[in-house]
Structure 1
Amino acid sequence: MACDTAPDILYPYPVRLQRLDHLGGHEVKIGIIGAGMVGKTLATGLAEKGHQVRLANSRGPESVAESLGASTAKVTPSSTSATLACDLVFLTVPWTKVRDVLRSGGPKDGRILVDATNIFLRFPPEALIDDLKGDSGSEIVARLAPEARVVKAFNTLPFTTMFAPLPDGMERVLFVAGDDTMAVASVSDLIVELGLHPVPLGPLAQAGRLMELGGPLSGLELLTPAKEEA
């Protein structure tokens, strides 16, 4: 499905796409917790764009190095604690592991935490979705990581779809939500670097629910014409 314009549920104020200047420049230190397909795909993709990337899992750096194989030269296998200290951290673990990962309070001092999780208690084909009693997963993550600026992204499409080939001149839309507009802008910039088209939707309490499993944007693939370079 293609769209010529972004949905009208955007922030009512401009979100400036910056090159992460307030985080120290283009070569940002990025941490990814969760070394499954999602984590490894993000790690290698962002490392290829020139970022310093640390990747961690629950079994330790040696396990990460083994799973990376030839990609280890570009991505640094790391511990969870060291990864949480990066400028910007992706959370790509299964939902059932989130509380354990964030038991220390998550990233500190206003670092950005990108919540890429989905609230599966059990994965397909025998899927079981967590009943959050009206809450959203990203709001729970924000409470578990009170010093972080939480942004919801990279959860509405399977990665096999997200980075699948596109028709010429088209980009794939990726929805983004967050309460801090500067954090949303930073994550949107990374999305652009990965060849996707960010669409900021608004705060976590409202937009996070739209992006949640079972929400109207979960699994929705939209394409938009790519902007011509000046």
Structure 2
Amino acid sequence: MTDGIAWLAEPQSIAFGGYHVTLARGLGAEGLAARIAASAQWSERTVEPIGELTGDGLIAALDAEYGDAWDGIGLRLGVSGEWTFAVAYGGWFGEFRHDPAISEGEAEVFLVEYEEENGKPVPPTFFYHRDGARMCSFNLHLDDSWGNGQVDGHPEVVREVAELLAAEGLPDEERADREVHRTVLGVLERHFGLTLPRALVLEAPLPAVLLADQPSSGRVSDSR
């Protein structure tokens, strides 16, 4: 599989530690990066372009800049058809708010993330925001291991997603988590038309940025 998003359920599908992928419609790459930076919860961050890099190249750049890639955060940015995407690297775990404001101005923004090495354990999660409102969110194991395993959000969207999951026999406590994870991602990719080009993400150089800490006076401006 080269497109869709179900391939993210594979072990270490993008990098060690899990994945944090944002897909947007109605935003350019610069605007999406700025909005992700603005959603940082613990410090204000600037977007600093550092050229076109592979995933390994960005991890090496984070190592060089911070001494350890886990002490910094970087994004690789791209476009596939109608979708703009951002893939996070480094210490992104727990660093960003899942704020519907990221979709203000009639944009649609989808976030899928999985802290694969978190021992608590934290399940993979999905968020769909549109025009400043949360439309749908849930954990992709569809269980109560970490918060509510129920699909939540706008009633019409919730009904549609829940019906599609039910058609796949989900939720099902007897199924392995990874199988549920992969099946749910497949449902989401088909229903919302989500696509993330695997070969491009894993092999090609893409525009890369660091999300650098900044003094409190300087949030990144929001641009399309």
Please confirm whether the aligned pair reaches a TM-score higher than 0.5, indicating the same fold: no
Shorter-chain TM-score range: under 0.3
Name whichever structure is richer in strand by fraction.
2
Q: Taking CA–CA contacts closer than 8 Å with sequence separation of 6 or more, which of the two structures ends up with the larger relative contact order?
A: 2
**TM-score (structure 1 length as normaliser):** 0.26
**TM-score (structure 2 length as normaliser):** 0.27
